[in-house]
Structure 1
């Protein structure tokens, strides 16, 4: 059985950076060797949960602007899996979660940014899934819980987003983490490690600096989905670091 994980995918430049977090991701990919990957990405929003269902190689989506030209030439030739997509949709349907298949959408940087570092050979089938940031956190958790059995088939569920994600506070010249960002993350970490789901569901009212850290919820949603799909009795923090003052790099194993 394989666990689920939540990853912060950072900025698009992550794939060409060299730091503690990129080293961690490369090492993590060597430790986790799934048969397939289902990745919920903060960069694909839809009202109805939408599942990539192509069998051939994904096109690339460069959903960012004003970054170095080399990033727009990055290729990650991963293939999809219709079989896993249909399995996932069946699990959701059984539990009353509406979903639909999409055989055309490419991989966005919320997916390929981390997969490029973890699995550079692009030899593991990928199924990309959208999120709805307007669902309550309890609902996000339920979506994850409904697909928990994927882990029994060695299918890794990844939630790809961020905890602290306020681009207005990013300082591209800073190498020191801002105290308020760390305080918010430390609060999350404590609640996650203690499986305090009810408090986490209400993080926006209870966590310090929550509205500053999470001005819009699309990037934290994948954490709750990964939490629901986990098979560990006790969640575990695998990594914590920061870039550009407030950009959080956290990984949980659920």
Structure 2
């Protein structure tokens, strides 16, 4: 039985760093034995949902610039699964959610920076899925709900994003978090603890510092998708930390 996870990918540097977070990811991966991974990445945006559909190895995409050469030497040669991609498309079709199969795109850093720690042998098939950042939160949850039950088939659903993600407000070298970033995450956890999904859907109006934390929604919508895909058990915080003052590493299990 696989949970649904929300995992922050933060800086691409996590792929080559040895930190509390990357060590956590490795231990988490050791505890999971999925037959496949379905991952919604904030770095693949499309108006119509795209589902990677291939059985051969993915190309590793370096969709960033200005980082050390060692980061561009990392590869993650996982294979895909056309069978599971088709299964996802059928589930979305039943819920009247439009989707298309993509046979060409490689794995972006919202995917491989996490998976290189979770499953370093790249031996678990991956189906990467795009996000539409301009859909309302209730629709993002509905996308996740279309995937309920995949965990019972040992398919791991991951939403890869960040709760507090504002590149303009990063404080380079700062290790202690800004109070406003902590307050935003605290508010999210309070709503999850009380099961107040209605408040979560209205986070833009109700959450403290919502505009600072989520100036653009592409990194936040994977949270709602993972929430929708989760089991009926109570959400759990598996890890929490901050970097550069405002970048949240809040890991949630649904």
TM-score (norm 2): 0.98
- Specify the alignment match of 2:161 in structure 1: 161
- Specify the alignment match of 1:122 in structure 2: 122
- Specify the alignment match of 2:79 in structure 1: 79
Q: Secondary structure at the match of 2:50?
A: strand
- Specify the alignment match of 1:17 in structure 2: 17
- Specify the alignment match of 2:40 in structure 1: 40
Matched, 1:133 2:133: yes
Structure 2 residue ranges without an equivalent (≥5): none
Alpha-carbon distance between aligned partners in 2 of 1:203 and 1:239, rounded to the nearest angstrom:
22
Alpha-carbon distance between aligned partners in 2 of 1:250 and 1:228, rounded to the nearest angstrom:
17
Task: Give CA-to-partner distance per residue, 1:180-235, whole Å, 9 cap, x none.
Answer: 11111111111123221110000011000000011000000000000000013211
CA contact under 8 A between 1:45 and 1:130: conserved in structure 2?
yes
Alpha-carbon distance between aligned partners in 2 of 1:193 and 1:97, rounded to the nearest angstrom:
29
CA contact under 8 A between 1:235 and 1:253: conserved in structure 2?
yes
- Specify the alignment match of 1:52 in structure 2: 52
Task: Give CA-to-partner distance per residue, 1:35-77, whole Å, 9 cap, x none.
Answer: 1000000000000111000110000111111111111111011
Alpha-carbon distance between aligned partners in 2 of 1:116 and 1:46, rounded to the nearest angstrom:
25
CA contact under 8 A between 1:144 and 1:227: conserved in structure 2?
yes
**Cα RMSD, aligned residues only:** 0.8
- Specify the alignment match of 2:170 in structure 1: 170
CA contact under 8 A between 1:193 and 1:237: conserved in structure 2?
no
Number of residue pairs aligned between Structure 1 and Structure 2: 254
**Equivalent runs, 1:171-190 vs 2, <5 Å:** 171-190=171-190
Alpha-carbon distance between aligned partners in 2 of 1:60 and 1:105, rounded to the nearest angstrom:
9
